[in-house]
Structure 1
Amino acid sequence: MTAHYQHLLSPLTVGSTTLPHRVIMGSMHTGLEEKEGGEHELAAFYVERVRGGAGLIVTGGVSPNAEGATRKNGAHLSSEDQLPRHRVVTDAVHDAGGFIALQLMHSGRYGMHEHAVAPSPIRAPINKVTPRELSDSDVERTIEDFAHAAQLAQRAGYDGAEIMGSEGYLINEFLVEHTNQRTDRWGGSPQARRRFATEIVRRVRERTGPDFLVMYRLSALDLVPDAQEFEDVLALGREVEEAGASIINTGIGWHEARIPTIATSVPGAGFTWVSRALRENLSIPISTVNRINTPELAEEVLARGDADLVCMARPFLADAAFVAKAREAQPDRINTCIACNQACLDHTFTGQRMSCLVNPQAMRETDLILGPTRTAEQIAVVGAGPAGLAFAEAAAERGHRVTLFEEQPELGGQFQLARRIPGKEDYAHTIRYFSTRLKELGVTVRTGHRAAQEDLAFADRVVIAAGVDPRQPGIPGDTGPTVLGYKEVLEGAPVGQRVAVIGAGGIGYDVAHFLTHNPSADFYAEWGIDRSLEARGGLLAPAPEPPSRQVTVLQRSTTKPGSRLGPTTGWIHRLELRMANVVFITGVEYQEITDRGVRISVAAPGPAGGVIEEGGGVALENPRTETLVEVDTVVLCAGQESRNELARELAGDSRPVHVIGGADVAAELDAKRAIKQAVELAAALP
């Protein structure tokens, strides 16, 4: 065991099970749980993580009955005939030397189907379905279904079960007054509302015996109105412990909470103070979660006594060998999760297979394989943004001899800009990872050099990954002295106090946040999170710092600003700008940019356009057909153009020439597509 992570890598005995270290691979619904034959791919995914050092793995959520599934025909475990496909997974994990627990998760009012049920018939704000209220006999049947499913899981070879009691799913709904308005024995008081959870744990333990791991995922901080007092959370923890739980795994926030809990804007290990409060009052091991993505951070959390275990999910998507690399004291080799959500949670909540932006091989262990090449080639790669870096690494891993050209002095491309956005600092980890890997693989890197055709004469194959240039929108005056491009702004160019941002895509949002962010802002005060644990549900009134600038975002389209942002993070970006009093004007036609600002015309207000939308309480009054948005600085975020001129020069070349990433498609910056395209190309080479 390395002294670097002596707490993280120390074993822990829970009941009759000795875990090899303090890392739990947390639950992730992969999309394979419902796929016919998906158990073989799921087994390959888990086995790759066990080989990389994972000890205890918790599966994606599986309901104890059909009505608790997240969607129609969703994953559930309720009968003997379902066991063989689970055996494929558990046998594979055990053969590889790991432990695995099945997460039992009843979705309650989050179920997106006509059979959804809940303690009370109250529709969730993130669902269109109004659930049916469970009768007393239904509640009893559901408890029995949990116990039966746990018993089936044990027979299927699982080492334990995690009972999902947080994030706003059914058990959590029973605990909170807003969603449980019952007056029978299952509601009406905190004690009665806890009965459903504790009875499930008690019966699961009775059915599975003393050696089965029973984990309970406890909502330590609901972050929704009319939620639990923390004293009730502690009371539940004590009752769950007494009922037979082996480990309590903390959960933070409901899915409908309007506070970020796992996105990149959340501080590292930002909620472990909550698990510490539990640990100080309970006896069984406590696991902590949320935004722990490096072994250094995990070690720090454990060393200061915030928890007994750390539960990480997405870090195992980004790097299957997270634990092995920590054990080898090689953290720079870890492909770190950047909490972007783009290929994991965004996929899950839109019914797609989960993957990872920085590691597209995640969940494709059986078909996206970087095996040894049959013929080693000399390959020239032009551009060291995400696409170029990912291709260079993957091709070199296969055994090709790669030379990488980058005209800037540093690697990273658009990630060098992204890491400057407040809350996206972790993007620097990706640059660090690729830099480390390219050295390890012997890739020749030539920075500060713009590759010309003659530089590529040595290569058997050329890959153009030169990225994008910001698009000039063609507005009269757009090259004037008050106008800056987004790249210049993010690199530190002076900007005035009143700013107009032209373009409301992802870059426009990032730039507006960059310009308005107050460095003195406190994440918890800004979002209204009570660190004293005295407020009900952990909620206080948000108290954001005044924005550092007055920003107006202009958009040609009449669609709602931010409608194309990611489904699990877009609401965060919209709220950030609302708190910063950013003004949005949609349906804009640009007349000209002058030294006084931007002259625009706006269609008459109405459904067809001309909408002036408030970002946070500031709006233009009585909009006319034409108006001048008076500002000191104008920032252009009006799209990008592919940099593929070198590819055109090589069009008649006899060698294979490939164009990837932004150089291929620049409609919207998309690192997920760029990295995936790069790795797929490398895998397809001879």
Structure 2
Amino acid sequence: MTTHPFPHLLSPLQAGAHTLPNRTLMGSMHTGIEHLDRPAQRLAAFYAERARGGAGLIATGGFAMNSEARLDEHGPMLVTPEQAEALRPIANAVHAEGGKIVLQVLHTGRYGKVANLVGASGIPSPINRRVPRPLASEEVWRTIEDYVRCAELAMHAGFDGVEVMGSEGYFINQFTTTRCNDRTDEFGGSVENRHRLPVEIVRRTRERLGEKALVMYRISALDLVEGGAPADEIVALARSLEAAGADIINTGFGWHEAKVPTIAYLVPRAAFRAAGARIKRALRIPLILSNRINTPDVAEDIIASGDADMVSMARPFLADADFVRKAAAGRADAINTCIACNQACLDFIFNNKPTSCLVNPRAGRELEFAQMPPPAARRRVAVVGAGAAGLAFAVTAAERGHGVTLFEAAPQIGGQLNLARAVPGKSEFDELLRYFRTRIADLGVDLKVSAQPSAADLAAGRFDRVVVATGVKPRQPDIAGIDHPKVIGYADLLSGRRGAGQRVAIIGAGGIGFDVAEYLLHDEADPAGALATPEAAVLKFHAEWGVDLANGSAGGLRPPRPASPSRSVTLLQRKPQKPGATLGLTTGWALRARLDQLGLKTIAGCSYERIDDAGLHLRVNGQPMVLEVDTVVVCAGQESESRLATELRAHGVEPAVIGGAQVAAELDALRAIDQGTRLAMTL
């Protein structure tokens, strides 16, 4: 008898009247695809590819049930039969692939960027300057009916059911807690009253839709805000929702205004598992666990332990639509793993761009990539440089049938990715390199490491095309004493070739400078290797960020216990503005907060004069200063390594130049992988 490599993850699950083929949910996420041309066709292709790849259940991004509920003035709504018909191709496409899909019904409440903002009370969110208008009691009942009507329309459009979004601090969540509910009517005050809104939505939705519809509710299992719900209220709500007719409970963690990261790379895998397990023990219906679950082995362990019946993975299905299919085939090594960087998913959404994925540029662009014609002929291609751009190009070109030889000067692939993976919290880059190594082997790419072909060799006629992906080299600033023994470059530090002293100055406060600060302070904060096991990493994270998984206090918070590193680190930049402005929108705040905890000092508006035995001499606002440091780490940007491209042109060969070799802007793996992939698609 054949056994699956992940027997619990891949076993079927009964949820109400529906039998799900496995225990994976592609969780809901904002995609921004709704704002593009042909949105239904694009979403149909997007979700169908995930259904074809084996997702057990799919939840769409949120749809508002009335104009007050939208995230912004252009947010997607489902309020008319015509809108339902327009969505029918999405459900049909998923069903054609054998999948199941529910539509998420979302009211953003006080988070909305709309003119007619409403909420439980007139208490604004700290992340939205707009003040909500409290809904009158009869308006709340009308909104409940709007939820039910939206669910009816979803079924009319062919969806298998709905997910009622009651987590992350949105509208329903705002009613369930005292943080932003000061009402005195039947929707405020007592726990029963504050739970009336979600319970009535689920009860009436079940009554209206009947037993065949899948009704899923996403509960906030840990609010992570002051005035949030304590554990007993969360469990009580889950039980009431079960009694009201919910088929399955999904979990969310942390309101959007919470000051604790919940999905960024800084968060250990399955960091909130225990909070979900507490709810699971109180229910008879299935429970789904979410947040930072990105590999089948982690998912298998969660389900096998009984902590949850199912796992939600949103971004992992962006990274690899075939996640489940590969796991079932025993090819977990071939999964393109989500690295929790947020750069092309959440950061894109906050910049009003449709979502995609750093490690998989095809995500969200399925129609665009499908329209690229197959290659007219097989080409022999040389790729020089196995960093992010070179790897993406080599693998994609080989997938399209070209013969690829990949040269790398170092003994291993990865280029600057090997520096990134040394930064605490960014070890997920190990997964990306594992993926590329697997694809290189599976596709038969001729990999030559410790190899530096000359321009003459490449121009000798063996190759039809030469791609230069030689990356970057660190820029050396013009500072007197830059060759002093206490000066080291970031590459030497992160590669482990050189170490740093106890008093360190970092020149340059871009992304690399902050990564170096994290590397230096983390080294001191964890001298005994407390992160050696996943369990220890989770406990350390909870202590540093003040997370109370027992949730005895409202909101699941306790006083944080940050580490106390002995190393002193000062981060410097020439620009007068506050350092860290260029960090990622949805991860930068957490990194800055963590480094503040660890005692990082920052100085802006610097001019550097010299480095000598006394330390780093500089001026700040015209005033002289000496930093008495043992080490000066230079993170002053990069320059393109373009010598090979110039030499090739001298030999009459016009190469394609990609990645850092073309533009030396930070360590931009997002741009490099996208560029390498797209060039290979046009070859």
Question: Secondary structure of 2:359's match?
Answer: coil
How far apart are the structure 2 equivalents of 1:666 and 1:13? Answer: 52
Q: Which residue of 1 aligns with 2:514?
A: 509
Q: Which residue of 2 aligns with 1:658?
A: 656
Give the 5 Å matches for 1:490-501: 490-492=494-496, 493-501=498-506
Question: Secondary structure of 2:336's match?
Answer: coil
What's the CA shift for 1:128?
2.7
2:642 is equivalent to residue 647 of structure 1? no
Give the alignment partner of residue 552 of structure 1, picking from 560, 570, 575: 570
Give the alignment partner of residue 598 of structure 1, picking from 603, 606, 616: 616
Q: Which amino acid aligns with 1:460?
A: D
What's the CA shift for 1:37?
2.0
Give the 5 Å matches for 1:82-101: 82-101=83-102
Gaps of 5+ in 2: 532-539
Give the 5 Å matches for 1:194-273: 194-273=195-274
Question: Secondary structure of 1:589's match?
Answer: strand
Q: Which amino acid aligns with 2:486?
A: T
What's the CA shift for 1:389?
0.2
How far apart are the structure 2 equivalents of 1:2 and 1:460? Answer: 46
Give the alignment partner of residue 466 of structure 1, picking from 466, 470, 478: 470
Give TM-score scaled by structure 2 length.
0.96
Q: Which residue of 1 aligns with 2:449?
A: 447
Q: Which residue of 2 aligns with 1:406?
A: 408
What's the CA shift for 1:176?
1.4
2:328 is equivalent to residue 330 of structure 1? no
Q: Which amino acid aligns with 1:500?
A: A
How far apart are the structure 2 equivalents of 1:236 and 1:171? Answer: 12
CA contact (8 A) 1:467 1:661 kept: yes
Give the alignment partner of residue 427 of structure 2, picking from 415, 425, 446: 425
Q: Deviations over 1:202-233 (max 9, x none)?
A: 11111111110000000010000111111000
Q: Which amino acid aligns with 1:668?
A: E
Q: Which amino acid aligns with 1:631?
A: V
What's the CA shift for 1:34?
3.6
CA contact (8 A) 2:63 2:78 kept: yes
How far apart are the structure 1 equivalents of 2:3 and 2:343? Answer: 34
CA contact (8 A) 1:508 1:553 kept: yes
Mean Cα displacement is larger for which, 306-315 or 191-200? 191-200
Q: Which amino acid aligns with 1:466?
A: T
How far apart are the structure 1 equivalents of 2:681 and 2:278? Answer: 48
CA contact (8 A) 1:383 1:406 kept: yes
CA contact (8 A) 2:9 2:299 kept: yes
How far apart are the structure 2 equivalents of 1:215 and 1:22? Answer: 14
Q: Which residue of 2 aligns with 1:483?
A: 487
Q: Which residue of 2 aligns with 1:76?
A: 77
Question: Secondary structure of 1:591's match?
Answer: strand
What's the CA shift for 1:189?
2.2
Work out the number of aligned pairs and report it.
665
CA contact (8 A) 2:356 2:362 kept: yes
How far apart are the structure 2 equivalents of 1:415 and 1:206? Answer: 53
What's the CA shift for 1:549?
1.2
CA contact (8 A) 1:219 1:233 kept: yes
Give the alignment partner of residue 670 of structure 2, picking from 653, 669, 672: 672
CA contact (8 A) 1:25 1:311 kept: yes
How far apart are the structure 1 equivalents of 2:8 and 2:377? Answer: 45
How far apart are the structure 1 equivalents of 2:255 and 2:197? Answer: 18
CA contact (8 A) 1:460 1:655 kept: no
CA contact (8 A) 1:515 1:548 kept: no
Q: Which amino acid aligns with 1:443?
A: V
Q: Which residue of 1 aligns with 2:546?
A: 528
Q: Deviations over 1:473-509 (max 9, x none)?
A: 1111111100111111112222101100111000000
What's the CA shift for 1:35?
3.5
Q: Deviations over 1:57-110 (max 9, x none)?
A: 100111111111111021011111111211011111111111000001111111
Q: Which residue of 2 aligns with 1:633?
A: 631
Question: Secondary structure of 1:367's match?
Answer: helix
How far apart are the structure 1 equivalents of 2:612 and 2:137? Answer: 70
Question: Secondary structure of 1:121's match?
Answer: coil
How far apart are the structure 2 equivalents of 1:415 and 1:302? Answer: 32
What's the CA shift for 1:669?
1.9
How far apart are the structure 2 equivalents of 1:491 and 1:548? Answer: 22
2:575 is equivalent to residue 573 of structure 1? no
Q: Which residue of 1 aligns with 2:154?
A: 153
What's the CA shift for 1:451?
2.5
How far apart are the structure 2 equivalents of 1:228 and 1:473? Answer: 52
Note the aligned Cα RMSD (angstroms): 1.2
Q: Which amino acid aligns with 1:626?
A: P
What's the CA shift for 1:656?
4.2
Question: Secondary structure of 1:557's match?
Answer: coil
Q: Deviations over 1:536-588 (max 9, x none)?
A: 21101111110241100011001121111111111011101100111100000
Q: Which amino acid aligns with 1:501?
A: I
CA contact (8 A) 1:19 1:56 kept: yes
Question: Secondary structure of 2:440's match?
Answer: helix
CA contact (8 A) 1:2 1:328 kept: no
How far apart are the structure 1 equivalents of 2:132 and 2:51? Answer: 39
Mean Cα displacement is larger for which, 646-655 or 354-363? 646-655
Distance 1:36 1:64, change over 3 A: farther
How far apart are the structure 2 equivalents of 1:461 and 1:425? Answer: 34
Q: Which amino acid aligns with 1:273?
A: A
Q: Which amino acid aligns with 2:471?
A: G
How far apart are the structure 2 equivalents of 1:101 and 1:655? Answer: 53
Q: Which amino acid aligns with 2:158?
A: G
Q: Which residue of 2 aligns with 1:291?
A: 292
How far apart are the structure 1 equivalents of 2:669 and 2:568? Answer: 30
Q: Which amino acid aligns with 1:417?
A: L
Give the 5 Å matches for 1:278-317: 278-317=279-318
Q: Which amino acid aligns with 1:497?
A: Q
Q: Which amino acid aligns with 2:561?
A: A
Q: Deviations over 1:114-150 (max 9, x none)?
A: 1221111222122232222111122111111001000
Q: Deviations over 1:412-451 (max 9, x none)?
A: 1111111111111111100010111011111111111123
How far apart are the structure 2 equivalents of 1:301 and 1:424? Answer: 23
Question: Secondary structure of 1:651's match?
Answer: helix
Give the 5 Å matches for 1:30-45: 30-45=31-46
Gaps of 5+ in 1: 605-624
Q: Which amino acid aligns with 1:298?
A: A
How far apart are the structure 2 equivalents of 1:567 and 1:232? Answer: 33
CA contact (8 A) 2:648 2:654 kept: no
How far apart are the structure 1 equivalents of 2:156 and 2:444? Answer: 49
Give TM-score scaled by structure 1 length.
0.95
Q: Which residue of 1 aligns with 2:535?
A: none
Question: Secondary structure of 1:61's match?
Answer: strand
What's the CA shift for 1:652?
4.3
Question: Secondary structure of 2:302's match?
Answer: helix
Runs of 4 or more above 6 Å deviation:
none
CA contact (8 A) 1:661 1:678 kept: yes
Q: Deviations over 1:170-200 (max 9, x none)?
A: 0011111121111111112222111111111
How far apart are the structure 1 equivalents of 2:40 and 2:650? Answer: 47
CA contact (8 A) 1:163 1:217 kept: yes
Greater relative contact order (Cα < 8 A, sep 6+): 2
CA contact (8 A) 2:168 2:255 kept: yes
Q: Which residue of 2 aligns with 1:607?
A: none
How far apart are the structure 2 equivalents of 1:656 and 1:153? Answer: 54
